[in-house]
């Protein structure tokens, strides 16, 4: 299965299980028409116990993996609220966030629903992606921010 098919499978499972998430990162750029290679799916999650349980059930509907039990809402509410999950028999990784430092929490994100191949996807708006990427140290994020600024007419001098 290729990346796009696996991405759609994950997003469809999240939708079917009522998971409160927002797609960010490279996959979100692709949804907005800015092609960028990526090997992961970055998901911002509402860090409640019921939402994390829904996430695990959604992922279990795709992969039979006991390590999903290790994902907890406590982790997503902790000091370093990022979890990387690598499904069995897949080259895809899921990076799960509930906060990015002092820059953003789930409640700070603006998102929109876009239908892709019949799947409803909650994706960060271009302005939100720009805000998340414009002040980071990673060169790829700064490059993404510049591309967002050019494509959506944002002022690259403003965060």
Could you tell me which of 8, 25, 55 has the C-alpha nearest to residue 138? Answer: 25
Q: Is residue 103 included in any domain, yes or no? A: yes
Q: Is residue 129 included in any domain, yes or no? A: no
Q: Is residue 50 included in any domain, yes or no? A: yes
Mean pLDDT of the chain: 93
Q: Is residue 134 included in any domain, yes or no? A: no
pLDDT at 16 over 80: yes
> Model's pTM, two decimal places?
0.94
Task: Express each pLDDT in 1-15 by its tens digit.
Answer: 788 999 999 999 999
Task: Express each pLDDT in 84-104 by its tens digit.
Answer: 999 998 888 999 999 988 889
What is the predicted pLDDT for the residue at 158? Answer: 60
Question: How many domains would you assign to the chain?
Answer: 1
Q: Is residue 86 included in any domain, yes or no? A: yes
pLDDT at 159 over 60: no
Task: Express each pLDDT in 127-150 by its tens digit.
Answer: 999 999 988 889 999 999 999 999
pLDDT at 153 over 60: yes
60-99 b/e with 16+ CB inside 10 Å = b?
A: eeebebeebeebebebbeeeebebebebeeeebebebbbb
What is the predicted pLDDT for the residue at 76? Answer: 87
For residue 47, the domain's CATH number is: 3.10.450
Q: Is residue 145 included in any domain, yes or no? A: no
Domain that holds residue 7: 3-110
Q: Is residue 79 included in any domain, yes or no? A: yes
Q: Is residue 127 included in any domain, yes or no? A: no
């Amino acid at each position: 299965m290729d990346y796009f098919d696996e991405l759609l499978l994950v997003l469809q499972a999240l939708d079917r299980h009522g998971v409160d998430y927002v797609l960010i990162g490279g996959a979100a750029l692709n949804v907005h028409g800015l092609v960028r290679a990526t090997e992961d799916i970055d998901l911002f999650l509402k860090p409640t116990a019921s939402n994390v349980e829904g996430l695990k059930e959604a992922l279990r509907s795709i992969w039979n993996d006991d390590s999903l039990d290790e994902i907890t809402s406590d982790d997503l509410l902790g000091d370093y609220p990022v979890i990387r999950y690598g499904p069995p028999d897949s080259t895809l990784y899921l990076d799960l966030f509930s906060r990015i430092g002092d820059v953003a929490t789930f409640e700070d994100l603006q998102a929109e629903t876009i239908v892709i191949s019949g799947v409803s996807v909650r994706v960060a708006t271009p302005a939100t992606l720009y805000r998340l990427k414009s002040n980071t140290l990673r060169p790829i994020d700064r490059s993404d921010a510049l591309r967002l600024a050019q494509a959506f007419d944002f002022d690259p001098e403003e965060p």
